[in-house]
Amino acid sequence: MPSDAIEVADADPAWPAQYAEEVEAIRHALGSHGAALQFEHIGSTAVPGLAAKPIIDVLLIPPDGEWPDEIIRTTLERLGYVSWDSNPNPRHLFFVKGMPPFGACRTHHVHVRPRADAIPILAFRDRLRTQPESAGAYERLKRELAARYPTDREAYTHGKDAFVSAVLSGIDAPAT
């Protein structure tokens, strides 16, 4: 759908504040249920200076052994999120805010993952924050993939897999 095309925008210093504002809204809506959740800003908008799709990615990590999916699902839907029910992994809840036809454009994604599944996501973010060469190569790759697959989010995402794996294994990231 053209209105949901992949766009990689220059870094915006407002992204951390947008993340904080959304997390505050989610925490408030969850009430006492939100106190046990760990919230993390992930994705490229969480890496200062990195170009990104202008979509704020929020990672919610429940305490080990707990999976409050109905509470999270109900709360996020009240905040305008749509659940990605076709996701084949039941241990990865995924919600989108603003996705056409429910909005003009995506603004936020919320991922709910168990701690074990969150570890590599956080490690990748942290490596990009501390390795400017990897961050630059990742930005070039994302721009290339967005130009190649402007409406194919699955191909865009899978096109980054080898790069992410290389960074997480400590191998020099492939040149792009």
- Model confidence pLDDT, tens digit, residues 40-57: 999 999 999 999 999 999
pLDDT higher than threshold 80 for residue 61 = yes
pLDDT (mean) for 124-135? 97
In a domain, 158, yes or no: yes
Among 19-23, 30-34, 142-146, the range scoring the smallest mean pLDDT is 30-34
Q: What's the pLDDT at 1?
A: 44
Distances (CA, A) of 63 to 60, 67, 114: 10, 8, 8
pLDDT (mean) for 148-168? 95
Strand pairing partners for 110? 58, 95
pLDDT higher than threshold 70 for residue 174 = no
In a domain, 124, yes or no: yes
- For the chain, the domain total comes to 1
Q: Look at the alpha carbons of 125, 127, 129, 135 in this order and tell me if their dihedral is positive or negative.
A: negative
Q: How far apart are CA 143 and CA 121, in angstroms?
A: 20
Chain mean pLDDT for the chain? 92
In a domain, 55, yes or no: yes
In a domain, 174, yes or no: no
- Full domain range(s) for residue 52: 2-168
Is residue 94 a contact partner of residue 110, using CB atoms and an 8 Å limit? yes
pLDDT (mean) for 21-41? 95
In a domain, 173, yes or no: no
Is residue 83 a contact partner of residue 73, using CB atoms and an 8 Å limit? yes
In a domain, 14, yes or no: yes
Q: How far apart are CA 153 and CA 142, in angstroms?
A: 12
Q: How far apart are CA 12 and CA 166, in angstroms?
A: 26
Is residue 10 a contact partner of residue 50, using CB atoms and an 8 Å limit? no
Is residue 49 a contact partner of residue 9, using CB atoms and an 8 Å limit? no
Among 60-64, 85-89, 91-95, the range scoring the smallest mean pLDDT is 85-89
pLDDT (mean) for 94-107? 89
In this structure, what CATH number is given to the domain that contains residue 31?
Answer: 3.30.460.10
Confidence tier at 121 by pLDDT (50, 70, 90): very high
Task: Find the radius of gyration of the CA atoms of the chain.
Answer: 16
In a domain, 65, yes or no: yes
Cβ-proximal residues to 11 (8 Å cutoff; 6+ apart), any chain = 48, 49, 50, 51, 52
pLDDT higher than threshold 70 for residue 69 = yes
Residue 31 one-letter amino acid: G
